[in-house]
Each structure stands twice: as structure tokens, then as C-alpha cells.
Amino acid sequence: MEIWEGNPNMEAFHQMEEELLKKHHGKVAVFCNGKLAAIGEDIVKAIEKAKKVYNGKTFFVRELFTAEEQSEAIL
């Protein structure tokens, strides 16, 4: 069992992760209700787009960088 199982937004991200990294590397993805809600150049723009469709909902937001890039940024 993976840690994201049971969370529709995280499951949707992991199903689409490879494609999103190829097409939208460096951008921000927003998920809502288990669906990709928006892609934006930064978190503000991505959430603004998502709010137009899913206003008042809870979002799962993910920057589109590889695991290696994320770990390098932390170190």
C-alpha cells in the first residue's frame, strides 16, 4: 500500500506524474476532487485558475520537479 492510496488528489497526481513532468516541468499543478484542476507558472496563478472552477474547495498543490531536483533543493 502506498501512502497516497485513499487520497483521490494524490492518486491522480501519481497517475499523471510522468506526463506532467514532461509537459509542465517547473510549473505548479493543482488537483481537486481527484482531477487536475489547473496548471500555472507559479502557485498564485495556478490557484487562481483552479478557483474559477472549484471555488471554496480544498486543493492539493504540487510543484512539478523530479524527486532528485526536490532533494537537491532541500540540501
Q: Is residue 3 part of a domain?
A: no
**Per residue in 51-67, is it b (16+ CB within 10 Å) or e — as a string?**
beebeeeebbbbebeee
Q: Is residue 17 part of a domain?
A: yes
Q: Is residue 13 part of a domain?
A: yes
Grid cell listed for 24: 509542465
Q: Is residue 62 part of a domain?
A: yes
Residue 12: pLDDT band with limits 50, 70, 90: very high
Q: Is residue 44 part of a domain?
A: yes
pTM: 0.84
Q: Is residue 33 part of a domain?
A: yes
Structural domain of residue 36, as residue ranges?
8-74
- Is residue 3 pLDDT above 90, yes or no? no
Q: Is residue 19 part of a domain?
A: yes
Per-residue model confidence as pLDDT tens digits over 19-74: 999 999 999 999 999 999 999 999 999 999 999 999 989 999 999 998 788 878 77
The count of domains in the chain is 1
